[in-house]
Amino acid sequence: QLQESGPGLVKPSEPLSLTCTVSGASISSYYWSWIRQPPGKGLEWIGYIYYSGITNYTPSLKSRVTISVDTSKNQFSLKLSSVTAADTAVYYCARHLGFCSGGDCRSSWFDPWGQGTLVTVSS
C-alpha cells in the first residue's frame, strides 16, 4: 500500500515537497516512481528511484526535480522546485513490478499506485 502526503497548496516559485509512505513491502526491494495528472488531463511520468540512489527523471522536469529515499522510514520523496500553475496536478506514487536493472526499468510496469494527492499552485 502506498500513501502520498504533503501540502495541498504551494505558492508560485516555491518548492513542492511530497512523501510516499510504503507499507506491506520493503522499499529496498523495488524501484519507485512519481507520476502526475493535471486536472482533466492525462498522466505524466516524473521519475523513479531505487534504494541505492539510482534515479531517472523525465527530461522536461529534470532541472527542477529531486527524488530521494529514506529506507529507515520506508518512504520516498519528491521535490519540485520553482513551481508554477502548470505544476498543479494530482501527484501519484507507484511501485515498479517486472524487471528493473541498473537503472533501466523499460520492462516494468506500475502496480500498485497510491490514491494520489492534489497539489494546487496558487498565491
Partner 1 sequence: QSVLTQPPSASGTPGQRVTISCSGSSSNIGTNTVNWYQQLPGTAPKLLIYSNNQRPSGVPDRFSGSKSGTSASLAISGLQSEDEADYYCAAWGDSLNGYVFGTGTKVTVL
Interface residue list for partner 1 (CB under 8 A): 33, 42-45, 47, 56-60, 92, 97-98, 105-107, 109-116
Nearer to partner 1, 14 or 113 (CB): 113
Nearer to partner 1, 14 or 61 (CB): 61
What would the DSSP string read from start to end of 83-108? --GGG-EEEEEEEEEEEEETTEEEEE
Residue 15 has what DSSP assignment?
Answer: P
- Phi (first) and psi of residue 85, to 5 degrees: -60, -25
* CA atoms in the 13 A half-sphere facing the CB of 38: 9
**Minimum distance between the CB of residue 57 and partner 1, rounded to whole angstroms?**
7
**Minimum distance between the CB of residue 95 and partner 1, rounded to whole angstroms?**
10
**Minimum distance between the CB of residue 72 and partner 1, rounded to whole angstroms?**
26
